[in-house]
A and B are shown apart, each in its own frame.
Chain A
Amino acid sequence: MSHFTQPLEYVGRPAQRVDALDKVMGRAKYIADYRVPGMLHARCLRSTLPHARIARLDTTPALRVPGVRAVITSDDFVDHGLYGFPVKDKYMLAYQKVRYVGEAIATVAADTPQAALAGAQAILCELEPLPALFDATRALDPDAPQVGPDRKNGNREHPNLKSDHMLVCKGNAEAELADCPIVLDRRYFTDWQEHAYIEPEGVLAIPTPEGGVVVYAPNQSPFINQNNLAMVLGLPINLVRVIQPTVGGSFGGKDDIIYESSAQAAKLALVTGRPVRMVFSREESLVASYKRDAMHMHIRLGADRDGTLRACWFRGILDSGAYASETPFTAWRASIHAMGAYRYNACDVDVYCVYTNNGYAGAFRGFGNPEVCFAVEQTVDELADMLGMDPIDLRLKNCLRLGDETAHGQKLDESMGLVECINTVRRLSDWDRKRAEYSRQTSTEKRRGIGVAIMYHGMSLGAEGADYAGATISVLPDYSVDLTSGLTDYGTGSRTVFTLIAAEELGVRPDRIRIQRPDTNTAIESGPTVASRTTVLGGNAMRAAARNLRQTLDLAAADLLRCDPQQLIRVGESYVGPDEEAVAWEKIVDHAREMGLILSAHGKWEAPKIVWDHHHGRGTPYMAYVYGAQVAEVEVDLRTGNTQVLHLWAVHDIGKVIFPQGAYGQLYGGITQGLGYALTEQITYRDGYIQETNFESYLIPTSVDVPEITAQFVESSYSYGPYGAKNIAEPSLVPTAPAIANAIAHATGRRVRELPMNLERVLLGHDLQPPASRDAAIRGVWMETRSMPQTPAPAAPRIYA
Chain B
Amino acid sequence: MWIEMTLNGKPVAVEAPPDISLLDLLRDYLNLTGTKEGCAVGECGACAVIMDGRLVNSCMVLAPQAHGSEVITIEGVHGPDGGPNDLQQNFIEYGAVQCGICIPGMIMAGEALLMHNPNPSRQEIRMGLAGNLCRCTGYQQIVDAIEATAKGRQKG
Q: Is the CB of B91 within 8 A of A694?
A: no
Asked if A672 is an interface residue, CB under 8 A from chain B, the answer is yes
B21 within 8 A of A: no
Q: Given A26-B75, A694-B41, A709-B140: A248 and B95 within 8 A (CB)?
A: no
The reply to whether B35 and A696 form a contact with Cβ atoms under 8 Å apart is no
A689 at interface, CB cutoff 8 A: no
A200 contacts chain B at the CB level, 8 A cutoff? yes
Instruction: Determine whether the beta carbon of B135 is less than 8 Å from that of A196.
Output: yes
Q: Are B73 and A669 within 8 A (Cβ)? A: no
Which B86-142 residues have C-beta < 8 A from chain A? 88-89, 91-95, 97-104, 107, 122, 125-127, 129-142
CB-nearest residue of chain A relative to B125?
A: A703
Given contacts A20-B100, A25-B88, 10 further A-B contacts (CB under 8 A): A26-B33, A198-B101, A198-B135, A200-B38, A247-B99, A282-B41, A492-B98, A665-B95, A665-B141, A672-B139
Contacts of A22 in B (CB 8 A): 100
List 3 A-B pairs, minimum CB-CB distance, nearest first. Answer: A26-B34, A491-B99, A248-B101
Q: Looking at chain B, what size class is its interface with the partner chain?
A: 35 or more
User: What are 26 A-B interface contacts by the 8 Å CB criterion?
Assistant: A23-B103, A24-B89, A24-B92, A24-B107, A26-B74, A26-B75, A28-B100, A32-B33, A32-B36, A32-B37, A197-B101, A198-B36, A198-B99, A246-B99, A246-B100, A248-B101, A251-B135, A664-B95, A665-B95, A695-B43, A702-B130, A703-B126, A703-B127, A703-B132, A704-B127, A708-B122
Min CB gap A82→B, angstroms: 32
A197 touches B135 (CB 8 A): yes
**B56: CB under 8 A from chain A?**
no
* Chain A residues with CB below 8 A from B78, complex form: 25
Query: Please, which residues of chain A bring their CB within 8 A of the CB of B104?
Result: 26
Knowing A491-B100, A709-B138, the reply to whether A198 touches B133 (Cβ < 8 A) is: yes
| B138 in contact with A20 (CB, 8 Å) | no
Please state if A706 and B34 are interface contacts (CB–CB under 8 Å).
no
Contact across chains for A24 and B36 when beta carbons are under 8 A apart: no
Report chain B residues within 8 Å CB of A35.
31
From the candidates A19, A197, A696, A708, name the one contacting B140 in the complex (CB within 8 A): A708
Contact of A491 with B88 in the complex, beta carbons under 8 Å: no
A261 part of interface (Cβ distance < 8 Å)? no
Q: Are B97 and A694 in contact (CB under 8 A)?
A: no
When chains A and B are docked, how far (Å) is the Cα of A673 from the Cα of B133? Answer: 12
- Majority SS of interface residues in chain B? loop
Q: For the complex, is A490 an interface residue (Cβ under 8 Å from B)? A: yes
In angstroms, Cα B40 to Cα A136, docked, is 34
Q: List B contacts of A672 (CB < 8 A).
A: 137-139
B50 at interface, CB cutoff 8 A: no
Judge whether A702 and B133 touch: CB under 8 Å: yes
Q: How far is the CA of A32 from the CA of B34 in the complex (A)?
A: 11
Q: Are A20 and B91 in contact (CB under 8 A)?
A: yes
8 Å CB contacts to B: which residues of A469-523?
490-493
Q: Which residue of A lies closest to B99 (CB)?
A: A491
In this complex, how many residues of chain A approach chain B with their Cβ under 8 Å: the count is: 56
Q: Does B44 contact A (CB under 8 A)?
A: yes
**What A residues does B36 contact at CB under 8 A?**
30, 32, 198-199, 248
| A24-B91, A661-B95, A669-B138 as given contacts; A33 in contact with B33, CB under 8 Å | yes
Q: How far is the CA of A671 from the CA of B140 in the complex (A)?
A: 11
Instruction: Answer yes or no: A323 CB below 8 A from chain B CBs.
Output: no
Q: Which of A32, A195, A669 contacts B98 (CB 8 A)?
A: A669
| Bound CA span A30–B103, Å | 13
Q: With CB as the reference atom, state the residue of chain B lying closest to A279.
A: B37
The reply to whether B136 and A491 form a contact with Cβ atoms under 8 Å apart is: yes
The yes or no answer to A372 lying at the interface (CB within 8 A) is: no
- A16/B92 in contact, CB under 8 A: yes
> In the complex, A226 Cα to B74 Cα: how many Å?
35
Q: How far is the CB of B149 from chain A (nearest CB, A)?
A: 12
* Residue in A22, A661, A670, A709 with the greatest tally of chain B CB atoms within 10 Å: A661
Which chain B residues have a beta carbon within 8 Å of chain A's beta carbons?
27, 31, 33-41, 43-44, 46, 73-75, 77-78, 84, 88-89, 91-95, 97-104, 107, 122, 125-127, 129-143
Q: Chain A residue with minimal CB distance to B46?
A: A198
Closest to B43 in A: A695
* Chain B CB within 8 A of A17 CB: yes
A13: Cβ under 8 A from any B Cβ: no
User: Known contacts A24-B92, A198-B102, A249-B101; is A695 also within 8 Å of B37 by CB?
Assistant: no
Min distance, Cβ A350 to any Cβ of chain B, angstroms: 34
A658 to chain B, nearest CB (A): 14
Q: With the chains together, A670 CA to B101 CA distance in Å?
A: 17
Closest A residue to B93 using CB positions: A16
Q: Are B84 and A21 in contact, with the CB atoms below 8 A? A: yes
A740 on interface, CB distance cutoff 8 Å? no
A703 & B143 in contact (Cβ 8 Å cutoff): yes
Using an 8 Å CB-CB cutoff, how does the interface string of A192-204 with B read, 1 for contact, 0 for none?
Answer: 0001111110000
- Within the assembled complex, what's the spacing in Å between the Cα atoms of A198 and B98? 12
**B100 partner, pick from A248, A702, A706, beta carbons under 8 A:** A248
CA distance A195 to B133 in the complex (A): 13
A238 interface residue (CB < 8 Å to B): no
Q: Is the CB of A669 within 8 A of B100?
A: no
Residues of B within 8 A of A19 (CB): 97, 100
Who on chain A is nearest to B140 by CB? Answer: A668
Tell me if A700 is interfacial: C-beta within 8 Å of chain B: yes
Please tell me if A27 contacts chain B, counting CB pairs below 8 Å. yes
Give the distance in Å from the alpha carbon of A708 to the alpha carbon of B143 in the complex: 10
| Cα–Cα, bound, A75→B77 (Å) | 49
Check if A305 is an interface residue, CB within 8 A of chain B. no
Contacts of B37 in A (CB 8 A): 32
B139 to chain A: which residues have CB within 8 Å?
A: 668, 672, 703, 706
Min distance, Cβ B3 to any Cβ of chain A, angstroms: 20
Q: Which residues of A contact B126 (CB under 8 A)?
A: 703-704
Closest to A195 in B: B135
Complex contacts, A441 vs chain B, CB 8 Å: none
Which A-chain residue is minimally distant from B131 (CB atoms)?
A: A702
* A25/B129 contact (C-beta < 8 A), A198-B102, A669-B137 known: no
Question: In the complex, which residues of chain A have a beta carbon less than 8 angstroms from the beta carbon of B133?
Answer: 198, 695, 700, 702
A664-B96 Cα distance, complex, nearest whole Å: 10
Asked whether B98 lies within 8 Å of A199 as measured between CB atoms, the reply is: no
Closest to A675 in B: B138
Contact A703 B129, beta carbon cutoff 8 Å? yes
Cβ contact within 8 Å between A249 and B99: yes
Q: How far is the CA of A275 from the CA of B44 in the complex (A)?
A: 30
Hey, which chain A residues are within 8 Å of B93, CB to CB?
16
CB closest residue in chain A, given B104: A26
Min CB distance B145 to A, Å, is: 9
- Chain B CB within 8 A of A29 CB: yes
Residues of A within 8 A of B129 (CB): 702-703
**CB neighbours of A251 from chain B (8 A):** 135
CB-CB nearest in chain A for B37: A32
CA distance A137 to B156 in the complex (A): 64
Check A282 against B40 for contact (C-beta < 8 Å). Answer: yes
When C-beta atoms are compared, the residue in chain A nearest to B90 turns out to be: A24
Contact between chains at A20 and B92 (CB < 8 Å): yes
